[in-house]
Amino acid sequence: MQNFDHSTTLKTAKIRLDRHLPYFKCNNVIFDISKKKSKDFYSLIVSRKAQLPSNANKLRQNFNLTEEELKLVFALPHKVAYEPYEKAFWYKILNLILYTNKKLLKIGSSENEKCNFCDNESETFDHLFFIVPSQIYFGQILKVLSFQDIILGILTSPCPLLNYIILMGKLYIWDCKRKHIHPYIEGFKQKIKIYCQTEKYIASKNNDLVNFYKKWPENILL
Ligand SMILES: [Zn+2]
């Protein structure tokens, strides 16, 4: 028969009891779980999750955004993007964790910060997603859009399709950079067609073509 150390057992039991106190402190406020209802738990979980990321203040200063605009900036990827990798790509840009050559040089993963396309300027977000396309590839499209529109999305009015096309433009540039090929306007149009046809196929399978045509104009596939 095993020999139990009763003093240790009692001590362990006391610690267990302490660990299961029916309350805890959150933001210096006592949360008594024996008195709270399910909606209080839900509010607590959401309040701790639904916080703007650490880069939010930097974006607010750089683009002179109001509190409401800042919230919209981080809500847009969820409203506009379709696939998880599209949302993830957008969030990486907003949180400055998309690894451009400039960033790779900074962390010692590259010996060169120059842009893959022109091999001349430093590869920053504004160079990669705005300067290069506006000067060489998508000049006409970008004439009416600002740097803020390209990086954050259009905030001033609801433009889900235009915001989606802006996202596709950035994804197209990023894909070309990774594949070491030059972007060109016909390649970008082809990408839009493929996205559109894929969504149309899914919508028709789900018997939801009405919503598909609300998003995509009929002549975009021409
Ligand atoms: Zn360049």
What is the structure's pLDDT at 183?
A: 87
Q: Does some domain include residue 119?
A: yes
What is the rounded distance in angstroms from the CA atom of residue 222 to the CA atom of residue 216?
12
User: End-to-end alpha-carbon separation of the chain, Å?
Assistant: 84
Q: What is the pTM of this model?
A: 0.73
Q: What is the CA radius of gyration of the chain?
A: 25
How far apart are the CA of 114 and the centre of ligand 1, in A? 7
Domain range for residue 128? 56-183
How far apart are the CA of 173 and the centre of ligand 1, in A? 11
Q: Does some domain include residue 34?
A: yes
Q: Does some domain include residue 213?
A: no
How far apart are the CA of 103 and the centre of ligand 1, in A? 15
What is the structure's pLDDT at 4?
A: 45
Cβ-contact 114, 120 below 8 angstroms: yes
How far apart are the CA of 83 and the centre of ligand 1, in A? 28
Q: Which of 57, 87, 107, 101 is nearest to 153 (CA)?
A: 87
CB under 8 Å to 137, separation ≥6 — which residues?
183, 184, 185, 188
Domain match, 81 and 19 both: no
Domain count of the fold of the chain: 2
Domain match, 119 and 102 both: yes
Domain match, 63 and 169 both: yes
How far apart are the CA of 131 and the centre of ligand 1, in A? 8
Per-residue pLDDT of the chain (222 residues; tens, 9 = 90+): 444 454 544 454 444 445 566 777 766 777 777 778 887 777 777 666 667 777 889 999 999 999 999 999 999 999 898 889 999 999 999 998 999 999 999 998 888 999 989 888 999 988 999 888 776 666 666 677 888 999 999 998 778 888 999 999 999 999 999 999 988 888 888 888 888 888 889 999 999 888 888 888 776 655
What is the rounded distance in angstroms from the CA atom of residue 18 to the CA atom of residue 28?
19
Domain match, 179 and 135 both: yes
Domain match, 65 and 45 both: no
CA angle 29, 32, 36 (to 5 degrees): 110
Domain match, 38 and 102 both: no
Domain match, 43 and 141 both: no
How far apart are the CA of 144 and the centre of ligand 1, in A? 21
